[in-house]
Structure 1
C-alpha cells in the first residue's frame, strides 16, 4: 500500500488525480481483496521494494463482456518506487507480466489508463500495447483500453 500511496501522491503533485482519491478512500480494501486472491506482486531490488502490480484474471467492471472472454489477464495498480524512477523498472515489470500471462495460457495482456493522461497512454503504446477504445467508468472517469 505504501508504494501505491507514494505513486498516488507523486501523480497528484503533477496534477494527475487518477489514483489519489481512489487509493486514499478504498485502496486498502481493494488491495486486501486482491491479496486474498493472490493477484498482487511485489518487485524487489538491491535496496528493497521497487514496484508492485496486480494481475486480475477477469475484469468486467472496466472491460465489460470482453473482461470475461477468457482470452486475457488484466494488469492493474502498477506503481514504481520513486527511488527506482528512471531505471526502467516499470518496463521490466510489464514484460514480466506479459510473459506470466502468456505462460498461463492467455493470448492477451490488457490494461487501462486514464484517457486524459497522454503521457501514460504513450508509455503503454511504446511498449507494444495497442489502444482499442475508451470506456466510461463510474464517477465520469474515462479510461483508455489497451491490449498486447
Structure 2
C-alpha cells in the first residue's frame, strides 16, 4: 500500500472483517507472549456501533481488509482530562502478512493528517505499557510519552502508556 487514499470510511459490511483482523492479531500477540488483546474481546456489536459513529477507516486489497484504524474525538477512560484540541487513534492494525512494508506508518500518518485537517492540533494514542518495541516505535515516529494508566488489579485491562504528537491543525494552517 503506497497510496493512503485507499483508506475509506468503514461500512457495516466491514464489521466482520474488522473483528477477524483484530482476532488474528490477538492470536499472533498471544503466540509472541505480548499481553494486549484477547481473541473475541471485541464483538461485532461493538464494532457495528463504532462504525455507526464513523470511527473506523479501512484499507482493502481484493475486498479483504488489510489495514485499519479507529479515530475518536474523546477517550475518557485513558485520557480523562478534557482537551478539545486532541483526537485519539485506536485500533491501528495491519495484516501480519504485510509486516515490514511500512503500512502501519503510512496508516498512522494518514490518521494524523485526518486529525489535524479536522481542526485538532494533538494526535493521541496508547499501547500496552509492557510492549517496549511498540512504545519505541511511536517515539521514533515523533510521539512524546504522556504517562502510564494502570487500571488496577481488578481490571481485565493491562496498563497502557500514553503518547501524543502535536501538529498544526487545519485551521492553523490556513493562516500560514
Using structure 1 for the length normalisation, give the TM-score: 0.90
Partner of residue 26, structure 2: 8
3-state SS of 1:61 partner: coil
Which has the larger helix fraction? 1
Which has the larger strand fraction? 1
Once residues 90 and 27 of structure 1 are traced to their aligned partners in structure 2, the CA distance between those partners, rounded to angstroms, is 23
Which of residues 77, 90, 106 is equivalent to 1:92? 106
Residues 35/112 of structure 1: CA separation in 2 closer, same or farther (3 Å cut): same
Partner of residue 121, structure 1: 135
Which of residues 89, 95, 98 is equivalent to 1:81? 95
3-state SS of 2:36 partner: coil
Contact 1:112 1:144 in 2 (8 A): yes
Q: Give runs of aligned pairs for residues 49-88 of structure 1, distance below 5 A.
A: 49-65=65-81, 68-88=82-102
Which of residues 16, 32, 37 is equivalent to 2:53? 37
Partner of residue 108, structure 1: 122
Stretches of structure 2 that go unaligned for 5 or more consecutive residues are: 1-18, 166-176
Once residues 136 and 44 of structure 2 are traced to their aligned partners in structure 1, the CA distance between those partners, rounded to angstroms, is 29
Partner of residue 159, structure 2: 142
Shift of 1:50: 1.6
Contact 1:3 1:52 in 2 (8 A): no
Shift of 1:145: 0.4
Question: What root-mean-square deviation, in Å, do the aligned CA atoms of Structure 1 and Structure 2 show?
Answer: 1.6
Equivalences, count: 144
Shift of 1:132: 1.1
In the TM superposition, what whole-angstrom CA distance separates every residue of 1:85-106 from its partner, at most 9, and x where no partner exists?
1111000000000000000000
Once residues 43 and 141 of structure 2 are traced to their aligned partners in structure 1, the CA distance between those partners, rounded to angstroms, is 27
Max Rg structure? 2
Using structure 2 for the length normalisation, give the TM-score: 0.76
Stretches of structure 1 that go unaligned for 5 or more consecutive residues are: none
Residues 133/34 of structure 1: CA separation in 2 closer, same or farther (3 Å cut): same
